[in-house]
Structure 1
């Protein structure tokens, strides 16, 4: 389970390492362009039932921490799905990754 620290280190958002690796690429691309956006996800097992959305802005510190020391191989199709949602009015919708055929 990886962690995305947003703002200060007390704001920790937990995601599976693989999903976080893909999010990192899409988020970095948007922020490099100076674009703000939202990320939304359904709470995982062990969390309070529901969903969350956060506003991501280039002016707010952001740090990614992965449990696995080795980088994962990225799925181009999953990156495209996340990037497409990032460019929509609803922002990034963190969806499950489809297996690579």
Structure 2
């Protein structure tokens, strides 16, 4: 499980390394262009029901932490799917079962 640390609050979002690696490419590209967007996910069974959404903006600090020291092979189609959804009003929606809220 990789971890996305969002803002300086110490909050974290845990997800599969492969999902985080693909998101990192899209997020870095969008933020480098000063483009903001949302990232959403449904809560897993261990959390109270519902879903969460965060607003990604170039001024909000982010850190990507991966458990595996070796970068995974990236799927260009998956990157394109995330990029296409980031360009919609709904933003990126991470598939069910891939995210767990951290501390």
Q: Decide: shared fold, TM above 0.5.
A: yes
2 CA distance for matches of 1:72 and 1:44? 24
Tell me the C-alpha RMSD between the 2 structures.
1.3
- Runs of 4+ that moved beyond 3 A: none
2 CA distance for matches of 1:88 and 1:78? 16
Aligned residues: 96
1 CA distance for matches of 2:24 and 2:77? 15
2 CA distance for matches of 1:17 and 1:45? 20
TM-score by length of 1: 0.88
**SS state of the match for residue 8, structure 2?**
coil
Residue 49 in 1 paired to residue 49 in 2?
yes
Residue 32 in 1 paired to residue 32 in 2?
yes
Equivalent position of 2:89 in the other structure: 89
TM-score by length of 2: 0.87
2 CA distance for matches of 1:43 and 1:53? 11
Deviation at 1:14, TM superposition (A): 1.0
1 CA distance for matches of 2:14 and 2:48? 13
The one of the two structures with greater contact order (alpha-carbon pairs below 8 A, sep at least 6) is 2
Can you give the 5+ residue segments of structure 2 that lack an aligned partner in the other structure? 97-103
Deviation at 1:93, TM superposition (A): 1.5
